[in-house]
Amino acid sequence: MRISDLSDKELDRFEASYRRENKTKGGRFSLSEILLEKKRRKPSPFGVREVAAKIIELAALSNDGLVTYGDILECFSSQRSLGGS
């Protein structure tokens, strides 16, 4: 069984068990793996099309055509602080 096969309830139960026992490993998946899977399942606050468009825009403005995650995050973070959603 892969971690992606677990339901949200099962992930919650495993996390609660680790926290109750004050442990980080010992089961089939570690607490870290459980938390990463839960985070992976959360929808992104940024739309896929908007991010893709921003990558194309930033790459065109870049001297070498490269864009970093930091560049993208900075753009979207500044939009949020200016009243974006």
User: What sign has the CA pseudo-torsion 20, 22, 27, 33?
Assistant: positive
Residue range(s) defining the domain that contains residue 67:
48-81
Q: Where are the alpha helices (DSSP H) in 42-85?
A: 48-61, 69-81
Q: Do 62 and 35 share a domain, yes or no?
A: no
pLDDT (tens digit per residue) in 16-41: 999 999 999 999 999 999 999 999 99
Q: Is the domain of 57 the same as that of 28?
A: no
Query: Residues 37, 55: one domain?
Result: no
Are residues 35 and 17 located together in one domain of the fold?
yes
Say yes or no: 55 and 26 in one domain. no
Do 8 and 30 lie in a common domain?
yes
Q: In total, how many domains does the chain have?
A: 2
pLDDT tens digits along 37-68: 999 999 877 788 999 999 999 999 999 999 99
CA distance 38 to 50: 24
- Spatial contact of 11 and 37, defined as CB atoms under 8 Å apart: yes
pTM for this predicted structure: 0.58
Q: What whole-number distance in Å separates Cα of residue 46 and Cα of residue 59?
A: 18
Q: Which tokens in the block code for residue 7?
A: 């339901």
The reply to whether 8 and 36 lie within a common domain is yes
